[in-house]
Amino acid sequence: MSGSSLLGDALLVFGKDLRIERSSKVVLSQVLPFALMILILFGFGISPDIRVPIGADGSRSVLAQVTPGLIFLAILFSSLLALGRSFGVEADDGTLDALRLAGLDPGGIFIGKAAAVLVQLLSVGSIVTLGAFLLFDTGVDWTWGRAVLLVTTLGAATAGIASAGTIYSALAAGLRVRDTLVPLLVIPVLAPVLLGAGQAADAALFGAVADGWPWVGALAIFALLYIGVGILSFDSLLEDA
């Protein structure tokens, strides 16, 4: 497995998946509306009139206070649609067999597919985050430090979701029950991502910025771990798919 072959195959698969998305527009027409619907329903379920004290003289609505967690819950749930589609189309059409027969590096296939999911989820996550600020009136006192921490948190968390989710989606790709099995496999594994992202985003929006960076480091370690596992194990996963 040469580095040039790995990167070239990854770019090939990455471009193929994005071209499929550009022609089908599933993220724009299904994944993004689903994520925004989740965000709105959470907003309906939590009364904005309930407030929590902040400091000696102020208060903030509970809905604004839980905005960091709601953002990443919406991204996590919407990612299940993107992950299921990433392998569902190819499993139904036999494209996975074609990728193997074409001699592409399995690690490159993994990186390419995970990167394509990452780009799609970053697009969804950016719009969901903006929507949350508009809907929930968070009242953040923005600084460059807060903005950088929030953007980095979104990137690290999404990378973890894309890398871990790609592995488990490949594991379930050849099964008839993959549509129901993928959420059962992915959600428990991504629970640490939800925890870390929520804590880091809370520090970015309302707390001390320095408190959020250790959580970002944990998210980055999680993502790198699953990227390494994916590169090393994807050959056997494709054989079972």
Residue 160 has pLDDT above 90, yes or no: yes
Side chain identity at 77, as an amino acid letter? F
Query: Model's pTM, two decimal places?
Result: 0.88
Residue 106 has pLDDT above 80, yes or no: yes
pLDDT score of 238 = 72
pLDDT score of 162 = 94
Residue range 11-40: mean pLDDT, rounded = 88
Q: For the chain, give every domain's residue range.
A: 3-240
43 Cβ contact list (under 8 Å, min separation 6): 63, 70, 135, 136
Q: Collapse the DSSP code of 59 into the 3-class scheme (helix H, G, I; strand E, B; otherwise coil) and give the result.
A: strand
Residue range 11-30: mean pLDDT, rounded = 87
pLDDT score of 60 = 66
Taking Cα atoms as reference points, which of 43, 65, 38, 69 lies closest to residue 52? Answer: 65
Q: Which of 27-41, 97-111, 148-162, 166-180 has the lowest mean pLDDT?
A: 166-180
- Return mean pLDDT, the chain: 84
Which residue has tokens 């550009």?
22
DSSP 28: I
- C-alpha 213/C-alpha 157 separation (Å) is 13
pLDDT in tens, 49-69: 666 556 555 566 777 788 888
Are the C-beta atoms of residues 167 and 235 closer than 8 Å to each other?
Answer: no
Name residue 210's beta-bridge partners.
none
